[in-house]
Structure 1
Amino acid sequence: MPTIGVVDTTFARFNMGKAAVDEIQKHVSVRIIRRTVPGVKDLPVAAKKLIEEEGCDMVVALGMPGSKPTDKVCAHEASTGLIQAQLMTNTHIIEVFVHEDEARDAKELAFLMEQRSREHALNVVKMLFKPEQMIREAGTGQRQGFEDVGPARM
């Protein structure tokens, strides 16, 4: 049975991991291992450990960088770390970040965090179990959390 890792943070203002786990369980029967870390810079090592020590076939890493310039730098560092962990393990780690300043207020932020978490969790399911569906969606302007923009037309 495939194993999916889910790692989220306590810094986020919404339980992104819970939404991702719920969405995965709606679509497939898999083993899910969930971990929670303090912030986005802790995600890379947690994801790598899920792959190397827990045998996860894919990991979804969820977090909410804040809105300050320092938070933007931390998000970039975390993203770079996640990419490095993917290359070191030859395993996909789907990064799901929602920046605090992407939303106008707390209600919109919660909506965006839930939607993006669920939509990327569904991407994990497609990548592992329905790769042909991902191929059909290539170039269609999909957006996780926001309305899809559709393909560009000539």
Structure 2
Amino acid sequence: MKKIGICDTTFARFDMASAAIEELQNNATDLKIIRSTVPGVKDLPVASKKLIEEEGCEIVMALGMPGPMSKDKTCAHEASTGLINAQLMTNTHILEVFVHEDEEIKPKELKILAENRARDHAQNLIKMVFKSKLMRKEAGTGVREGKEDVGSL
């Protein structure tokens, strides 16, 4: 049984973790999902590291929704750097799944983007853990998570 870590934030305006978990459960078997929820994106690196080191997760999805302000972008960058460091410290993949609030203007479209990105990254996780040859076939194809693919050059 594969242990999958999911960590999300209360700051997000949409429950991306539930969408990701549903996608995982509907498309993969033999996995145990362990969820952790923290206040904001800067808390995701330590939560992810704890899921790996204390819970034995083989891979983690870190889901967050940084706000539109300049300081939110700085916090998102710091969180991203922290997630990279946590990956290097644990030699374990942490899929960063961020949806920036200014990616879409209308709340309905932001919600659709957040759900689609969470589900698309859950599919990436499945490929990475269970079907690595499928991921390899997509190399250089311009796949995007949450939005339409842009295609190969």
Provide the residue aligned with 1:28 in structure 2. Answer: 28
Deviation at 1:114, TM superposition (A): 0.1
TM-score by length of 1: 0.98
CA RMSD of aligned residues (A): 0.4
Equivalent residue, structure 2, for 1:14: 14
Q: Tell me by how many angstroms 1:76 deviates.
A: 0.1
SS class of match (1:61): strand
Corresponding residue number in structure 2 for 1:65: 66
Question: 3-state SS of the aligned residue for 1:150?
Answer: coil
Query: What SS class does the counterpart of residue 85 from structure 2 fall into?
Result: helix
Superposed CA offset, 1:18-66 (max 9, x none): 0000000011121000111000000000000000000000000000000
The alignment partner of 2:108 has SS state of: helix
In the aligned structure 1, how far is the partner of 2:23 from the partner of 2:43?
23
Match of 1:39 in 2: 40
Equivalent residue runs for 1:73-92 within 5 Å: 73-92=74-93
Dislocated runs of 4+, deviation >4 Å = none
- Residue 99 of structure 1 is matched in structure 2 by 100
| Aligned counterparts, 1:121-140, within 5 A | 121-140=122-141
- For each residue in 1:66-88, what CA deviation from the matched residue of structure 2 results, as whole angstroms up to 9, or x when unmatched? 00000000000000000000000
Determine if the alignment matches structure 1 residue 117 to structure 2 residue 153: no
State the Cα distance separating 1:110 from its structure 2 match.
Answer: 0.2
Q: Percent same amino acid among aligned pairs?
A: 66
The unaligned stretches of length 5 or more in structure 2 are none
In the alignment, structure 1 segments of 5+ residues that lack a partner are none
Aligned residues: 152
> How far is 1:117 from its partner?
0.3
Give the aligned partner of residue 148 of structure 2. Answer: 147
2-structure distance, mates of 1:128, 1:111: 26
User: Following TM superposition, by how much is the alpha carbon of 1:94 offset from its aligned partner in structure 2, in angstroms?
Assistant: 0.2
Matched residue SS, 2:149? coil
